[in-house]
Structure formats: C-alpha cells, structure tokens
A and B are shown apart, each in its own frame.
Chain A
Amino acid sequence: MRLYEYEAKEIFQKYGLSIPRGKIVESAEEARRFASQIEGPVVIKPQVSAKKRGKAGAIRFASNPEEAFRQSQSMLGTRFDREKVSTLLVEEKIEVDKELYAAMTIDYSFLRPVAIISPFGGMDVEELAHEKPEMVKKVRFSISTGPIEREYEELVTIFNQEERIVMKEVLQKLCRIFRDYDAEMVEINPLALTKHGKVVALDAFLNVDDDSLFRHPDLVRPRGMSREEFEFEQSLKEKKWKYIEMDPDGEIGILSSGAGITMAILDLIKMHGGRPANFLDTAQMNAEGIYNAFSLFAGNTKLRVLLVNIFAGLNRCDDLAMGIKRYLQEHPLRMPLVVRMIGYREDEGKSILKEINVETIRSLEDSVEKVIQIAKGAA
C-alpha cells in the first residue's frame, strides 16, 4: 500500500529526517493563506498515488500568495492518472545546492534488501542508473541486522567527505523506517543538500507491504477511491478474493479459482479473439463461496457471458454445483452461463446442474471456445 507524500513525510519527520515546512490544503484559499505565512516562494504538489508527478508537470511553483491561489485552483478537482486531485501539499521552496538520491527496497533477484544511493537525484535517476551505473551505488544487506558499518562505508564512498557523514545518517534513519514500516520501498528523491550542508527530503515515497498491514492498522484507509470502493476492496480482502476489472468494454466474465489457471484462461480467451471484462479468483471455493461470487457478476449489464471454471482437487464438484443451483434458483441470471467442471465427484456435480438446465463442459479449451462463440453471436 502506497502512502501519500505527506503521510510519508510525517513518518520521515518522526524519524528525524528534515522535511520542508508545509501544509495540507483542500482549497485554493487555504493555499493562499499558507503561502502568505511562508513569506516566500512555495511548491504546490497534488497528493495522488501515481508516481512521476514532476515529469507530468503536476508540481507547480508560486512566488506569491496570489499565484499560489491560482495554481491551486487550477489543480484541485482535476484528474491525475485517473485519480481526482482533492488535496495539495503546499511547502516552502527550499534553496537547493545539490539533489541527491537515497532508497531502500528489495532485490528480488538476490532475495535480499538493498540500499541505493546516488549524488545525482531528481527526475532522471532511473535513466542515470541505466546509462551511468557507476553513479548509482547499490549494496545489499542483511534483513535482520540492517547494513553493517562496512556496508555503510561502501555506500557513501560515492559522496565527498562532508556529504558522507550526513548521508550515512540519512541511510540509518531510512533503514529504521524500512524495517518498522515493513516497506517494499522507501525512497527520498530528490534529497536536497542545501548551501548550509543540511539535507532535506523534498519528496517522500513509502510503499508498505500489504501483507503486513495487520501490524499497521492505522495506515489502512481509502486513497484515491471512494468510501464504497474502499469498503468493497476491504470486503474482498477479508474473503481473500481477487477481483479485477480488466476492460470496461469486455464481454466475458470469469469466475475461477487460483491465480495461475485464471491467467491461463485469460490468455486463451484473448488468443481466440475474446474480450475478458473482469475476473474473480477465489483462493478456495465451496458452495457458500460460489454462491456469493455469482452476485459480483450478476449485476454487470455489459457481460454477454459468464465462464465458471471448476477444477475440484481438494473441493468437490457436487458441492460447488449445489452453490450454483441455489444462486440460480433465487436469482435468475441475465447472461448465459458456461460451466467447465472437472475433478472430484464430477458426475454428481454434472447431474445437479442438469436439473436446472446448465450444461457442463469438461475441457478447458472447449469451454473457452464456447464463451467466445456466445460473446460473438450476441454482438
């Protein structure tokens, strides 16, 4: 879960990292008031989940309160990468001598955490890492101890003598945040070095591992979505369901169990020219689960057909068939239904569905062909 910049900055500050004086505002008037308190130029930044705001021109500068008002007004209510801008962070503009970079994340190839620093921060650090890798220092370290003395020394060799001391402190603080917040990534880019040799975090990125959120319940709240969307998301999480809307103009809904097989079905459908609309991947299915799952698709008026894939290894076809039967008896389904069913107690499951005139198909490929025929025929 990605925190907003201002949330990450609050945490940074708690851990002793300097951040610019700033305020969260929801109106242009508030922005004007804060800018006049600052008595100098300010930076105005939308608080959204997308990265690369700078490159997209979404970070604005204002030299006086009036300009701060105008800039804020032009940003509030607009959309940035589909997310509505409803809050802005207004900050004093820091006089920057140099822009540095510091981050801690996980090296998925080596299965270890890694610290990354560079004397050249800013918007183009990814390109720099690619073109001049010697300008970006990466050191992997132990998760249980954090970087040891020798590793810190190695990291800061890329900086000059005075910078080394402050950078080591920054890294030590970042490491504490990284561990305490179960971070997938914590990043300061740019990290400003002022003329007085002070370091200030101009931006803050903190991505907390979703699976660790039981340790950070205070961080769980809607970001970039409505209350209803958030509650829906949370309810899916509780059920351990993964529901993804793929294509608003798609025609085929997919209800399946297991990420791998669900991806295989999506591949097959697209390979044969079909358009999947959404899918639900239930980790484990039973009669109750499949009954509830149907309700997710039933209300979608764009769906032309629903494909249900059941491969009963640990669960039972007849049990799942009962769940489907119960749902369909209570709620007539608007769209045609194709059930692929194979596995434990398959014949029993088949006859249960036959009672309510639902045919089952044994082969995965045949079931995919069938849904595509239906989707195309109805078009």
Chain B
Amino acid sequence: MSIIAKRSACVLIQGITGAAARLHTKNMLDYGTRIIAGTKPGGGGGEVHGVPVYDSVAQAVEQHPHLNTTILFVPPKGTKEAALEAVKAGIKTVVMVAEHVPLHDNLEILEEGEKKGALVIGPNTPGLISPSEQTKLGFVPSQYFIPGPIGVASRSGTLTYEIVSRLTLNGIGQTTCIGVGGDPIVGTPFPKILQFFEKDSETRAILLIGEIGGTKEEEAAEMIRDRKITKPVFVYLVGRTAPEGKRVGHAGALIEGNRGTIESKLASFKEAGVPVADTPGDVIRIAKEVLKN
C-alpha cells in the first residue's frame, strides 16, 4: 500500500511535448507509472513515447474515461489554466511541478480543487513516488527509493534525495515519498499528508522534512499532540541559521514575526513528543530507533 501515487493512478501528462516532459514521461514509464495520455493544445493526434497526445483534457478524458491523475509540465504562467482545465474535466489528483506560480493563481486553483473534490499537490514539487507500487508522479530520481515502512513528506526536493538515499543505503525503505512543494501555499501541506499516512496500513512511521517559514510544521505538531495521529512521527528541520527576513530559498522559508521561526517549530514538536533530528546522520539514527519499537 501507499498513498496517492498508486497502481490505480491512470495518468495524464499536460504539456507532454516539451523537452522536460518528454524526458520525464520516459522515466516514469520506465519506472512503471501507468501513463495513458498526454495533452498539448494544437498537438492532438501525435504521440510521445507511445503515449497518445490530445488537444485538451476533455478530449483525453473522453477517449480514456478512467484517467484520474494529471501531472502539469506547464510553465508557471500557464499552470492556472491547465490546472482548472483538468479539475473541470473531473481529474481527481493534480500534480503541479512548476516553480514561481503566481500566488493568486495558486489560491484559485486550490479553491476550485476543493470545490470539485480534487487533490492538488504542489506547486513547486518534484512529485511523489511509491516504490512498492512502481509508480512515480513527477521527476523524483527513482534510483534512491526502495519499498519499506516509512512515509516521507518534504518541502524540498534535493534534501529529500539526500535523506532518502541514506535511508535506502541503511536498508530502510519507503511506502510513499511526497514533495509537498516549496511554496508558502501548497495544496497538500503536512497536516493533510499526515492523515493520509495515518490511514495507510503499510506505513509504520512518518518522516517530515520541514524548514523555517509558514506554520504547517506547528499545525502538524498540534495534530500529533492531540493524538489525531497515532503512528510515530519524526522530523528533520532545516533553516536553523537562516538570516531573518531573507528568503533563503523557498518562497515559503520567509520568517515573519514569531510565526514560522525555528524556535516555534522546535517548541511545538517538543510539546508533541516528536523527535527532531539535527543533522542528516541523526535522521537515520532516529529512523532505526523508531522502527525498533
């Protein structure tokens, strides 16, 4: 079992004819992802790695009614239009990889997704991967992931690869790894992901890779404190030494007032009894301890 990226995902690639989309469509197909169709306005009738291309999502859905997931390989300016098109056509999981999607566009997408009961992941995410289901949605480099008991959610792509490759080296596999996205507003932040992992029978423990900025780590900690999440959770937090008021990297990593500071996050996790790793090496030590129990 796993979350969201499952065998049952019938995948559409929007913007499939672009260079990055072609490359990652190939990578996803090789991994085992069931990519059924792609779209490109004006590109209907073509093929990319054997995947049929349509002009619109509506047309793709008409030909392949079981399509339920889309990945947007679309520039930030076009992300809103593409996402709304997918939601309107009844797609239930929308993965947005683009960075620099305008904030208001993003809010509109999330609002529309909620209205239509669609799950929005990202923006600014490398996607997600479930090794036991041989399914990845996005461009995470699959060679670092193996099946196992840990659910991983992270705000950062490269840091996830760094940490997960070490878990894998130590024989600790993963149910699903999800990049929730590096923006201050994302469709499935940590609290929502915790609920998914809580319900997943295979996930024995959950690793959150968080950072300064925003309040989603604090909200996750409150859920754990209030026993809404009963599985063991452990955390790696970065940005302890980030200069105040500067956007260190992710737009989400901006410190404002007392909210989102490292102190506030550490205090929340401490109150909830959640172990927090200081270094990448420490993550592995805690993972082993958590799995022993």
Q: A residues touching B (Cβ–Cβ < 8 Å)? A: 106, 108-109, 111-113, 142-144, 179, 182, 184, 209-212, 214-215, 240, 242, 244, 246, 257-264, 266-271, 276, 281, 283, 311, 313-314, 342, 344, 364-365
Q: How far is the CA of A342 from the CA of B144 in the complex (A)?
A: 12
Interface of A is mostly: mixed
Binary flags per residue of B92-111, CB closer than 8 Å to A gives 1, else 0: 00000001111111011011
Contact A266 B242 (CB under 8 A): yes
Contact B102 A209 (CB under 8 A): yes
For B246, give its contact among A111, A244, A342 (CB under 8 Å): A244
Binary flags per residue of B238-249, CB closer than 8 Å to A gives 1, else 0: 111111001111
B184 CB contacts on chain A under 8 angstroms:
108
A211 CB contacts on chain B under 8 angstroms:
76, 100-103, 251
Jot down 16 A-B pairs with beta carbons below 8 A, ordered by A: A111-B189, A144-B111, A182-B103, A211-B100, A211-B103, A212-B104, A260-B209, A263-B239, A263-B242, A263-B248, A264-B280, A266-B241, A311-B158, A344-B141, A364-B162, A365-B280
B55 part of interface (Cβ distance < 8 Å): no
A212 CB contacts on chain B under 8 angstroms:
102-105
A342 CB contacts on chain B under 8 angstroms:
165
Contact B159 A261 (CB under 8 A): yes
Most B CB contacts (10 A, CB to CB) among A211, A283, A342 go to A211
Binary flags per residue of B126-158, CB closer than 8 Å to A gives 1, else 0: 000000000000011101100000000011111
For A143, give its contact among B100, B107, B239, B281 (CB under 8 Å): B107
Contact B243 A246 (CB under 8 A): yes
Q: How far is the CA of A246 from the CA of B244 in the complex (A)?
A: 10
Give the residues from 222 to 275 in chain B that come closer than 8 angstroms, CB to CB, to chain A: 238-243, 246-251, 253
For B77, give its contact among A106, A214, A271 (CB under 8 Å): A214
Q: How far is the CA of A202 from the CA of B105 in the complex (A)?
A: 31
Q: How far is the CA of A108 from the CA of B183 in the complex (A)?
A: 11
Closest B residue by C-beta to A342 = B165
Q: How far is the CA of A344 from the CA of B102 in the complex (A)?
A: 33
Q: A263-B249, A314-B139 are in contact. Are A106 and B185 (CB under 8 A)?
A: yes
B90 part of interface (Cβ distance < 8 Å): no
Q: How far is the CA of A283 from the CA of B124 in the complex (A)?
A: 11
Q: How far is the CA of A257 from the CA of B159 in the complex (A)?
A: 10
Q: A246-B243, A314-B141 are in contact. Are A260 and B154 (CB under 8 A)?
A: yes
Q: How far is the CA of A281 from the CA of B212 in the complex (A)?
A: 17
B112 CB contacts on chain A under 8 angstroms:
144
B62 part of interface (Cβ distance < 8 Å): no
Most B CB contacts (10 A, CB to CB) among A209, A259, A263 go to A259
Contact B215 A142 (CB under 8 A): no
Q: How far is the CA of A270 from the CA of B239 in the complex (A)?
A: 11
A112 CB contacts on chain B under 8 angstroms:
107, 111
Contact B240 A259 (CB under 8 A): no
Contact B215 A108 (CB under 8 A): yes
Contact B162 A264 (CB under 8 A): yes
Q: A260-B249, A263-B242, A313-B141 are in contact. Are A365 and B279 (CB under 8 A)?
A: yes
Contact A263 B238 (CB under 8 A): yes
Closest-CB distance, A375 to chain B (whole angstroms): 15
Closest-CB distance, B106 to chain A (whole angstroms): 9
Q: How far is the CA of A246 from the CA of B279 in the complex (A)?
A: 21
Contact A215 B249 (CB under 8 A): no
Q: A210-B251, A266-B242 are in contact. List 13 more A-B contacts (CB 8 A).
A: A113-B107, A143-B108, A182-B103, A184-B103, A214-B77, A246-B243, A259-B249, A260-B156, A260-B250, A261-B158, A263-B253, A264-B159, A267-B241
Closest-CB distance, A111 to chain B (whole angstroms): 5
B198 part of interface (Cβ distance < 8 Å): no
Q: How far is the CA of A276 from the CA of B239 in the complex (A)?
A: 13
Q: A113-B107, A244-B243 are in contact. Are A260 and B278 (CB under 8 A)?
A: no
Closest-CB distance, B138 to chain A (whole angstroms): 11
Q: How far is the CA of A365 from the CA of B240 in the complex (A)?
A: 17
Binary flags per residue of B13-28, CB closer than 8 Å to A gives 1, else 0: 0000000000000000
Q: A144-B108, A271-B279 are in contact. Are A111 and B154 (CB under 8 A)?
A: no
Contact A215 B102 (CB under 8 A): yes
Closest A residue by C-beta to B256 = A108
A111 CB contacts on chain B under 8 angstroms:
107, 110, 185, 189
A271 CB contacts on chain B under 8 angstroms:
240-241, 278-279
Contact B248 A244 (CB under 8 A): yes
A106 CB contacts on chain B under 8 angstroms:
103, 107, 185
The list of the 6 closest CB pairs from A to B, nearest first, reads A260-B156, A259-B249, A258-B158, A260-B159, A313-B141, A212-B102
B157 CB contacts on chain A under 8 angstroms:
258, 260
Closest-CB distance, B188 to chain A (whole angstroms): 11
A246 CB contacts on chain B under 8 angstroms:
243
Q: A258-B159, A260-B158 are in contact. Are A268 and B279 (CB under 8 A)?
A: yes
B143 CB contacts on chain A under 8 angstroms:
313, 344
Closest A residue by C-beta to B99 = A283
Q: A108-B214, A182-B104, A311-B161 are in contact. Are A260 and B99 (CB under 8 A)?
A: no
A108 CB contacts on chain B under 8 angstroms:
184-185, 214-215
Closest A residue by C-beta to B155 = A260
B38 part of interface (Cβ distance < 8 Å): no
Contact A260 B280 (CB under 8 A): no
Contact B211 A263 (CB under 8 A): yes
Q: How far is the CA of A108 from the CA of B185 in the complex (A)?
A: 7
Closest B residue by C-beta to A260 = B156
For A259, give its contact among B144, B246, B253 (CB under 8 Å): B253
B182 part of interface (Cβ distance < 8 Å): yes
Closest B residue by C-beta to A281 = B249
Give the residues from 198 to 226 in chain B that come closer than 8 angstroms, CB to CB, to chain A: 209, 211-212, 214-215, 219
Q: How far is the CA of A262 from the CA of B102 in the complex (A)?
A: 24
Closest-CB distance, A275 to chain B (whole angstroms): 10
Q: How far is the CA of A179 from the CA of B103 in the complex (A)?
A: 11
Closest-CB distance, B262 to chain A (whole angstroms): 9
